[in-house]
Amino acid sequence: MSEIKQKSVEVFLDELASRQATPGGGSVAAVMGAQSAALTSMVCNLTIGKPKYAEVEEQIKALLQQSETLRIQLTDMIKADVNVFDKLMACYGMPKQTDEEKTIRSTQIQTVLKQATQVPLDCANACAEAISLSRQAAEMGNTGVISDAGVAVMAGYAALKSAALNVYINAGSIKDRQFAETKLAELEAILSDADVATEEIYQIVKEKL
Amino acid sequence: MSEIKQKSVEVFLDELASRQATPGGGSVAAVMGAQSAALTSMVCNLTIGKPKYAEVEEQIKALLQQSETLRIQLTDMIKADVNVFDKLMACYGMPKQTDEEKTIRSTQIQTVLKQATQVPLDCANACAEAISLSRQAAEMGNTGVISDAGVAVMAGYAALKSAALNVYINAGSIKDRQFAETKLAELEAILSDADVATEEIYQIVKEKL
């Protein structure tokens, strides 16, 4: 089966809407995060080389390098979400007749639940970075395409809040509460200033339109 | 050239990041809106037929019909944004040597600016509907996939705020201020309760996880 990123936008949307369990919200979070990074890259690409922005050229080039690295990471996360979900579903499908089978199944579920918590947490982290990069694009980028920095921050924000939901779900089922609480605390730290930062960046853009 | 929706997710992201002027934020707004509608459809498709949700089956079927209609509309808007942008750029490229040429060019720009305001305004309207449909999915849908309703509301919200930026830009350049102010007032009405609605729907989902 081909990877989601190789499917057309239209087919991706069709599969999303269908009764298939994947792709779902986790993949959408990664796609929105990748769109955010891509738009920051676009602003950079349309700023570099313009005499009016010569003063920030080096910073914009560095920003572009970061946003492109992040875009690749987030694009790969589209698949990571599906993979870990499928792995978890396979665990739930394991035999549970004997006590031994029950123990093996339960242990395996717990192991994969930790991975299924880490995957969206990594996505949330990447999305927070996407928000932060969009701020630089909004502050320094070509004002002729500054609205794209505004879309970048909104896409990154929606992606972050979406990834967070998947962390909550999976962390909630983990028996190792110390692990779960640590991950939830990491998530809260990532989320803590996201609302304010997003609003600030959106306003920076709106005032430059 | 093939339509954007027929391109792979990966190629779409590459083109987004590039120095091409389109696709840009306007297309991302439409894609995020379509993702929102698609996820509401997914929740519906995974609710219909489950005995536990028999009581809301008819409402969920009606919701699915609305979300699928909306998904098609928003998917078509990916192209609409590019088309009107290209049309506007073509106007700016019109000859402007003689007074007559200047008048023709200016009149043509003003005509297309009105279209370029209406296109993202229509998108914003559709995104507000996507948010509203995600609330029904969050309230009535299968709690096993309720996080997808949470991603649906965030995608719809980001899409709405993104489309709004393109309304602001184009309305700002319109000389017919009555037209522009009417469109901006329509936008403000659409935006007015979006923040509160989004937060409410997100919380409904979070509490059901």
**Cβ–Cβ below 8 Å for B39 and A21:** no
- Sequence-separated (6 or more) residues with CB below 8 Å from residue B57: B47, B48, B49
pLDDT at A1 over 60: no
User: How far is CA B56 from each of CA B51, B140, B200, rounded to the nearest angstrom?
Assistant: 10, 7, 21
B127 half-sphere exposure, CB direction, 13 A CA radius: 35
Nearest-by-CA chain A residue for B149: A25
Q: Tell me the pLDDT of chain A averaged across its residues.
A: 97
User: Which is nearest to A165 in space by CA: A119, A115, A106?
Assistant: A119
List the one residue out of B194, B27, B59 whose CA is nearest residue B125: B194
Tell me how far apart the alpha carbons of residues A114 and A136 are, in angstroms, rounded to a whole number: 34
Give the pLDDT confidence score for residue A102 in this predicted structure: 96
* Cβ <8 Å between A155 and B39: no
pTM over 0.95: yes
Chain A residues lying within 8 Å of B17, measured CB to CB: 37-39, 41-42, 45, 67-68, 71
Residues 6+ apart with CB under 8 A from B44: B60, B61, B63, B64, B67, B137, B141
* A8/B8 CB distance under 8 A: yes
Give the tens place of pLDDT for each residue, A112-133: 999 999 999 999 999 999 999 9
Q: Write out pLDDT tens, residues B25-77.
A: 999 999 999 999 999 999 999 999 999 999 999 999 999 999 999 999 999 99
Check B13 against A35: CB less than 8 A apart. yes
Residues 6 or more apart whose CB falls under 8 angstroms from that of A3 comprise A78, A79
- Contact residues, chain A, for B151 at CB < 8 Å: 24-25, 28-29, 162, 165
* Residues on chain A touching B63 (C-beta within 8 angstroms): none
How many C-beta atoms surround the C-beta of residue B55 within 10 A? 10
Question: Per the CB < 8 Å rule, is A169 touching B145?
Answer: no
* pLDDT at residue A122 in the model: 98
Q: Which residues of B touch A41 (CB under 8 A)?
A: 16-18
| A173 DSSP 8-state letter | T
The DSSP secondary-structure symbol of A97 reads S
CB contact under 8 A, B151 and A10: no
Interchain proximity A78–B9, CB inside 8 Å: yes
Question: Alpha-carbon distance B181 to B174, whole Å?
Answer: 10
Q: How far apart are CA A34 and CA A40, in angstroms?
A: 10
Per-residue pLDDT reduced to its tens digit, B121-171: 999 999 999 999 999 999 999 999 999 999 999 999 999 999 999 999 999
Of B6, B172, B202, the CB nearest to A8: B6
Nearest Cα neighbor of A153 from A182, A183, A132, A177 is A132
The region that residue A49 occupies, defined by phi over 0 for left and psi between -120 and 50 for alpha, beta otherwise, is left
Distances (CA, A) of B52 to A13, A38, A156, A183, B48: 27, 42, 35, 33, 10
Chain center to CA of B5? 14
The beta-carbon neighbor of A10 closest among B5, B18, B165 is B5
In whole angstroms, what is the distance from residue B102 CA to residue B93 CA? 11
How crowded is residue B130: how many other Cβ atoms within 10 Å of its Cβ? 31
Q: Work out the minimum CA distance from A11 to partner chain B, whole angstroms.
A: 8
